[in-house]
């Protein structure tokens, strides 16, 4: 047991910022944590709680009070499974510590269980908050007794176990079946494809359902023999018992819940004893290409601008590293799926249809909202894909390269920003143009939308690089850790969301409560985004370069 705990502690420490990093930027770290927790996590948790509360109250009258929270916890488990697949794969098979752990006299289950626990803790912090918020909404609406809170906390800490066990079992089975592949990149491509397929599958399934307005949902959830709930109860059988225990405070339900979790852990450990060592040995990171004669290789060499070559280097690394490709590039393809879901799930309120009608009829409010939406999406996507906010972190152990080559820091940072602008902005332009065509906008308006989108992307790109330069996480054993274990990616997202929310709220309030027309507000918005660009560029020019200069490579 003590070996297990020591391993878990060591593995968690390896993905966290070091004490030195935290100490160096104590004030900054505190401010960023405050913004992330109080302005993003807590409001989000509050929204979840309110949603579950408002669904539970009418459901109780129909005699299916626990269905809303059950369905929500199923949904959380599905997300946990989808996004956990890649993480578990990386942690079990491709992290740098495996080569150090395998020669030690440890049982497979000791390695697997400690790695699993470390991944569970570091990956589920956000999930814990959402789960407890859902329980809070439910407990308050149903007036359940105080003991329910204790069960809810237990549920919060243990709910993600079974979805992640599913991920772990699937990973080991894939490695067993694909053992002949023995190559990290190929396996990563398989999991990326699987993740993408599951997300599309969810979107397709949801698009078959009706809207998500409260009345429709309450009717659907309370329907006897709800088919979705029935299927989900088979896939995640523990959830119904946990909810049952919270509602009725029954000891039997709690025993079932704990029992199912223990059986799952036991089976998982048995399977890892049988499979893990067989599947983990001999994994390579990349296959050698077919050998070519030197003359053929030399022919391709040409002197070009160093900016272009550096840009190509950045693109190659982003695209060829599966963890970066999935988290930084592919995410640009996934978010339109979520937008589509939003469109499908709007239900009877049909906000988007009335908004589209507003654009067609030249409603100033709709046009303003459309532009604010474009700017917000551009900011969110650029911050979420973390291409810019992990640009220096991704250099990792070869960060010194930035410092010893004869290429000014700002020139290198410009290239890094350009990569983010091309990938995030390129994606945005396709969607903006498609939306403009769909909405029948004129060329001038379309061009303006594109320009606003690019400026929003560019501002977040430079700002993200500046944020990353403050304290990049240069020591990581696995590329996924460079992104996931990096709090600054999250901080950057928090600041970007905050700034964009303030901008949108400000613009909309000006429109509603002043005499300024939409055109004037749009001009002000444009000037404001330009100013943000100038500020973030100057931050990079004068602060980020200094930060890099001060970092010991």
Q: In the complex with other proteins, which residue's Cβ is closer, 61 or 292?
A: 292
Q: Is 422 exposed, middle or buried (0-12, 13-18, 19+ CB in 10 A)?
A: middle
> Shortest approach of other proteins to residue 464 CB, angstroms?
22
284 binds other proteins, rule: CB under 8 A: yes
Q: In whole angstroms, how far apart are CA 235 and each of 81, 239, 513?
A: 11, 10, 51
- Count of residues interacting with other proteins (CB under 8 A): 45
Q: How far is it, in rounded angstroms, from Cα 241 to Cα 159? A: 11
Q: How far is it, in rounded angstroms, from Cα 290 to Cα 429? A: 38
Q: Give me the DSSP letters along 300-330.
A: T-----HHHHHHHHHHHHHHHSHHHIIIIII
Q: In the complex with other proteins, which residue's Cβ is closer, 287 or 333?
A: 287
Which residues touch 75 (CB under 8 Å, ≥6 apart)?
Answer: none
* Binds other proteins (CB under 8 A): choice among 1, 125, 234, 298: 298
> Shortest approach of other proteins to residue 412 CB, angstroms?
10
320 binds other proteins, rule: CB under 8 A: yes
282 binds other proteins, rule: CB under 8 A: no
Residue 77, CB half-sphere, CA atoms under 13 Å: how many? 27
> Shortest approach of other proteins to residue 522 CB, angstroms?
42
Q: How far is it, in rounded angstroms, from Cα 99 to Cα 283? A: 10
| Binding window for other proteins (CB under 8 A); candidates: 226-234, 280-288, 370-378, 448-456 | 280-288
Q: In the complex with other proteins, which residue's Cβ is closer, 200 or 287?
A: 287
300 binds other proteins, rule: CB under 8 A: yes
Q: Are 545 and 409 in contact (CB under 8 A)?
A: yes
* Binds other proteins (CB under 8 A): choice among 1, 234, 294, 443: 294
* Binds other proteins (CB under 8 A): choice among 1, 125, 234, 296: 296
Supply 347's token pair. Answer: 């239900």
Q: How far is it, in rounded angstroms, from Cα 471 to Cα 29? A: 10
Site for other proteins in 362-421 (CB under 8 A): 397-398, 400-401, 403-408
* Binds other proteins (CB under 8 A): choice among 302, 362, 443, 512: 302
Query: Looking at the DSSP assignment, which residues form a beta bridge with residue 183?
Result: 284
Q: How far is it, in rounded angstroms, from Cα 414 to Cα 36? A: 27
* Binds other proteins (CB under 8 A): choice among 61, 278, 292, 348: 292
Q: In the complex with other proteins, which residue's Cβ is closer, 9 or 100?
A: 100
Site for other proteins in 3-22 (CB under 8 A): 20
> Shortest approach of other proteins to residue 306 CB, angstroms?
4
Angle at Cα 384 formed by Cα 379 and Cα 386, nearest 5°? 105
CA 534 to chain centroid: 28
* Binds other proteins (CB under 8 A): choice among 2, 208, 230, 289: 289
Q: In the complex with other proteins, which residue's Cβ is closer, 182 or 216?
A: 182
**Helices (H) then strands (E): counts for the chain:** 29, 0
Q: Are 75 and 202 in contact (CB under 8 A)?
A: no
* Binds other proteins (CB under 8 A): choice among 94, 166, 236, 310: 310
Q: Which residues bind other proteins (CB under 8 A)?
A: 20, 284-294, 296-298, 300-306, 308-310, 312-313, 316-317, 320-321, 397-398, 400-401, 403-408, 549-550, 552-553
């Amino acid at each position: 047991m003590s070996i297990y705990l020591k391993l878990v502690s060591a593995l968690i420490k390896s993905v966290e910022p070091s004490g030195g990093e935290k100490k160096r930027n104590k004030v900054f770290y505190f401010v960023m944590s405050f913004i992330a927790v109080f302005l993003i996590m807590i409001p989000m948790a509050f929204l979840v709680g309110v949603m579950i509360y408002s669904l539970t109250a009418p459901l109780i009258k129909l005699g299916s009070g626990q269905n809303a929270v059950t369905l929500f916890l199923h949904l959380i488990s599905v997300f946990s499974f989808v996004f956990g697949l890649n993480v578990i794969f990386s942690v079990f098979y491709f992290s740098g510590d495996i080569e150090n752990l395998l020669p030690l006299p440890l049982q497979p289950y000791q390695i697997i269980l400690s790695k699993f626990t470390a991944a569970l803790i570091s990956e589920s912090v956000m999930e814990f908050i959402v789960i407890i918020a859902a329980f809070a909404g439910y407990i308050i609406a149903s007036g359940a007794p105080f003991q329910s809170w204790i069960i809810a906390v237990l549920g919060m800490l243990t709910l993600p176990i079974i979805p992640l066990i599913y991920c772990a079992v699937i990973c080991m089975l894939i490695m067993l079946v694909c053992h002949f592949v023995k190559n990290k990149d190929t396996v990563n491509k398989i999991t990326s494809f699987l993740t993408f397929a599951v997300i599309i599958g969810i979107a397709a399934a949801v698009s078959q359902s009706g809207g998500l307005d409260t009345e429709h949902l309450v009717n659907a959830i309370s329907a006897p023999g709800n088919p979705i709930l029935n299927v989900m109860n088979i896939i995640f059988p523990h959830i119904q018992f946990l909810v049952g225990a919270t509602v009725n405070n029954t000891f039997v339900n709690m025993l079932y819940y704990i029992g199912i979790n223990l059986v799952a852990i036991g089976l998982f450990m048995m399977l890892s004893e049988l499979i893990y060592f067989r599947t983990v040995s001999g994994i390579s990171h990349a296959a050698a290409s077919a050998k070519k004669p030197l003359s053929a290789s030399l022919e391709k060499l040409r002197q070009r601008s160093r900016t272009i070559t550096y840009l190509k280097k950045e693109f190659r690394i982003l695209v060829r590293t599966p963890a970066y490709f999935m988290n930084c590039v592919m995410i640009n393809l996934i978010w339109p799926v979520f937008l589509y879901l939003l469109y499908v799930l709007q239900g009877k309120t049909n906000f988007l249809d009335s908004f589209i009608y507003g654009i067609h009829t030249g409603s100033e409010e709709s046009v303003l909202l459309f532009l604010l939406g474009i700017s917000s999406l551009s900011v969110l996507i650029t911050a979420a894909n973390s291409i810019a906010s992990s640009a220096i972190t991704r250099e990792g152990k070869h960060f010194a390269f930035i410092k010893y080559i004869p290429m000014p820091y700002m020139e290198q940072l410009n290239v890094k920003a350009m990569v983010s602008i091309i990938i995030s902005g390129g994606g945005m332009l396709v969607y903006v143009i498609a939306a403009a065509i769909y909405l029948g906008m004129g060329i001038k308006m379309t061009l303006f939308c594109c320009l606003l989108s690019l400026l929003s992307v560019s501002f977040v790109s430079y700002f993200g690089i500046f944020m990353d330069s403050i304290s990049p996480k240069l020591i990581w054993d696995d590329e996924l850790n460079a992104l996931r274990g990096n709090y600054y990616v999250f901080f950057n997202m928090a600041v970007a969301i905050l700034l964009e929310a303030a901008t949108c709220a400000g613009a909309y309030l000006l429109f509603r409560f002043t005499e300024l027309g939409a055109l004037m507000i749009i001009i002000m918005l444009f000037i404001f985004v330009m100013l943000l660009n100038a500020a973030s560029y100057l931050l990079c020019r004068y602060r980020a370069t200094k930060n890099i200069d001060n970092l010991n490579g």
